[in-house]
């Protein structure tokens, strides 16, 4: 019997790096003498690529690349000290690992994501981590999930994607895998419900749902 596949998003799904993200954006805007966006504006776009976030926050195309580089410099310095596992996230991963094969699909930089998960003590549970630099087309495109399944040498059958934003859910639908939206992060219930019927409180509840309902 093949084990099911569970793919997790990171920010808002397993980890909370909100303060590291917000402060890194604010410092980057300060570095280039640009008006800082409001906190809620930054939060609204977490889950998108850095390029899309800076564009949505009003940075012109000609300045986006240097802003991304500077942001990564700030984020790298504080990502470990300012990132924690979400409540129940470790238990969710441990239970999932007991019956499924696991992967990470994120728009964060893969290198930094691995460092964070190693620091938090859970990277060993995951067979693959697909980050922004690993794909041409990030979420909501289906490529990140397809690439994760390719590396895991498996198909979409009995595969689940757990994430906190519409990007995760659209990606899952496009890749023809099961999706579960979680309310532990940045997506609002009404928005998530437009893209997925299965909305759970957090990753632990989502994993328990999969354990009870996957096709054996």
- Fold match between domain 5-16+84-213 and domain 18-78: no
pLDDT, position 214: 78
Q: What is the pLDDT of residues 155-193, one digit of tens each?
A: 888 999 999 999 999 999 999 999 999 999 999 999 999
9 is catalytic: yes
d(CA 159, CA 157): 5
Matching residue, tokens 């300012």: 82
Bridge partners, residue 180, by sequence: 162
Q: Could you tell me the residue ranges of all domains in the chain?
A: 5-16+84-213, 18-78
Distance, CA of 80 to CA of 20 (rounded, Å): 9
* Helix (DSSP H) and strand (DSSP E) numbers for the chain: 10, 8
Q: Give the phi and the psi of residue 11 in degrees, each rounded to 5.
A: -60, 125
Which candidate in 9, 11, 134, 164 is catalytic?
A: 9
**What is the second-level CATH architecture of the domain 5-16+84-213?**
3-Layer(aba) Sandwich (3.40)
Q: Is 3.40.1360.10 the CATH number for 18-78?
A: no
Q: Taking Cα atoms as reference points, which of 121, 120, 117 lies closest to residue 131?
A: 117
pLDDT above 70 covers a percentage of the chain that reads: 99
> What's the DSSP call for residue 48?
B
Summarised one tens digit per residue, pLDDT across range 93-130 is 999 999 999 999 999 999 999 999 999 999 999 999 99
- In eight-state DSSP terms, residue 30 is H
Place of tokens 């909100």: 18
Q: Which two tokens stand for residue 115?
A: 């460092």
Which residues have a Cβ under 8 Å from the Cβ of 140 and sit 6 or more positions away? 166, 167, 168, 170, 171, 174
What is the predicted pLDDT for the residue at 215? 58
Say which DSSP state 162 is in.
Answer: E
pTM of the model: 0.96
pLDDT at 1: 66
CA dihedral 89, 158, 213, 6 (to 10 degrees): 0
pLDDT in the model for residue 216 = 58
For helices 166-175 and 143-151, angle between their N-to-C axes, nearest 10 degrees:
60
% of the chain beyond a pLDDT of 90: 96
DSSP string, 77-102: HHTTTT-EEPTTHHHHHHHHHHHSEE
> Which tokens hold the place of 165?
């934003």
Give the residue-averaged pLDDT of 3-29.
98
């Amino acid at each position: 019997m093949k084990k099911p596949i569970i793919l997790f998003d990171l920010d808002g799904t397993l980890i909370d790096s909100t303060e590291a993200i917000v402060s890194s954006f604010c410092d980057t805007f300060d570095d280039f003498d640009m008006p800082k966006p409001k906190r809620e504006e930054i939060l609204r776009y977490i889950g998108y690529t850095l390029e899309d976030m800076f564009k949505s926050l009003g940075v012109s195309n000609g300045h986006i690349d240097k802003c991304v580089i500077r942001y990564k410099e700030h984020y790298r310095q504080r990502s470990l000290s300012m990132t924690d596992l979400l409540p129940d996230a470790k238990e969710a991963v441990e239970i999932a690992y007991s019956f499924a094969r696991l992967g990470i699909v994120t728009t964060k930089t893969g290198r930094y994501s691995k460092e964070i998960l190693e620091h938090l003590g859970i990277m060993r549970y995951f067979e693959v981590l697909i980050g922004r630099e690993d794909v041409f087309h990030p979420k909501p495109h289906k490529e990140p999930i397809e690439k994760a399944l390719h590396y895991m040498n498996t198909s979409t059958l009995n595969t689940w994607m757990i994430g906190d934003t519409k990007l995760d859910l659209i990606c899952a639908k496009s890749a023809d895998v099961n999706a579960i939206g979680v309310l532990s992060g940045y997506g609002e219930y009404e928005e998530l419900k437009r893209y997925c019927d299965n909305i759970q409180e957090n990753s632990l509840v989502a994993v328990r749902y999969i354990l009870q309902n996957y096709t054996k």
